Amino acid sequence: MNWKRASIAAAAGVPLIALLGFGLTRDPKVIPSPLPGREAPDFALRVFAPGDTASAPDATTASALADTIRLAALRGEVVVLNFWASWCAGCGVEHQALVSVARRYEGQGVRFVGVLYNDTLEPALRWIRRMGGQNYPSLQDDGSRTAIDYGLYGVPETFIIGPDGRVAYKHAGPVTEQLLIEKIEALRSAGTAPAAGS
């Protein structure tokens, strides 16, 4: 054995080991999105399911929204934008979480909006009925233009948009109640939420 040569060669293995070690700190399943931190792409989409809240939100916004919702009109509020479809198994899993968090923040400056992805209205409405209703409006996205703007990989995907109109957080896959509350609270406590909220 030539120990000097051996140790030089061994040192050459260090970068490879470092690379593998670096790999351990990464989660390969996380799909990056350039959106968080940037302005959320605006849209104006037709409402196909108005949302069946028992106590309707205040009349002014309800009429302003009418049958179309424009994202820019919701500036100043926290918007939870959820892409879903009736054929999507994960959407059924997260449905209850979305509904109950939406109820929790009702009238507190947090707006939930669903966007239908690659689906037709009839099965989508049937799905809402089967899931026991949806207490926030869902929009139809013909030609998936909005989904493309948001760089959707699949459904469900959820974007949380701050009062400043920037995407604060993006989540792929079913969301949980805890996660939604945590992110919404973080935005509200950042002080940018309107006084009406807290």
Partner 1 sequence: MTRYLGVDAISIALAVSLFGMVAAVLGVRRNSDRLIQASFAAMYTTFALLTVATVAMVYGLVTHDFSISYVSQVGSRSTPLFYTVISLWGALEGSILFWAWVLAMYGAAVVWLNRRHPGPLIPYTAATMLAVSIFFGILLRGPANPFREVFPVPLDGPGPNPLLQNHPLMGVHPPLLYLGYVGLTVPFAFAVGASLSGQLGSSEWLRLSRRWTLVSWMFLTAAIIAGMWWSYEVLGWGGYWAWDPVENASFMPWLTATAFLHSAILQERRGMLKLWNLNLIVATFVLTILGTFLTRSGVLSSVHAFTTGTIGYYFLAFIAVVILFAFALVAGNTESLRTRGNLDAVLSRDTIFLLNNLFLTAFTFTVLLGTLYPLVAEAIRGVKVSVGAPFFNKMTLPLCASLLFLMGVGPALPWRRATTEQAKRKLTLPTISAVVVAIISIALGTRAPYAVLAFAFGAFALTANLGEYALAVNARRRTHPESYLLALARLIRGNQRRYGGYLAHIGVVITAVAIAASSAFRSEYDATVRPGQVMNAGSFDVRLDQLWARDEPHRTVVGATLTILRGGQPVGEMQPRTNFYASQEDPVPTPAVRSRPAGDLYINLMAFAEDGSSATLRVIVEPLVPWIWFGGGVICMGALVSMLPGARRRREAEMPQLEEVPEYAA
- Residue 23 near partner 1 by CB under 8 A: yes
**How many residues sit in the footprint of partner 1 (CB under 8 A)?**
29
Closer Cβ to partner 1, 29 or 60, answer by number: 29
- The binder of partner 1 chosen from 16, 54, 59, 195 (CB under 8 A): 16
Name the segment binding partner 1 (CB under 8 A); options: 5-13, 67-75, 139-147, 158-166: 5-13
Half-sphere exposure (Cβ direction) of 154: Cα atoms closer than 13 Å: 9
- Residue 28 near partner 1 by CB under 8 A: yes
Strands 138-140 and 157-161: unpaired
The phi-psi region of residue 41 (left if phi > 0; otherwise alpha if psi is between -120 and 50; otherwise beta) is beta
Give the span between the Cα atoms of 82 and 136, in whole angstroms. Answer: 11
> What are the structure tokens assigned to 1, written together?
């054995």
Name the segment binding partner 1 (CB under 8 A); options: 13-21, 37-45, 100-108, 135-143: 13-21
- Residue 21 near partner 1 by CB under 8 A: yes
Give the shortest CB-117-to-partner 1 separation in angstroms.
17
Give the shortest CB-189-to-partner 1 separation in angstroms.
29
Q: Are 175 and 182 in contact, with CB atoms under 8 Å apart?
A: no
- Residue 195 near partner 1 by CB under 8 A: no
Cis peptide before 36 (omega within 30 of 0): no
**Using only C-alpha atoms, what is the Rg of the chain?**
22
* Footprint of partner 1 (CB under 8 A): 1-3, 5-10, 12-14, 16-17, 19-24, 26-29, 31-32, 89-90, 93
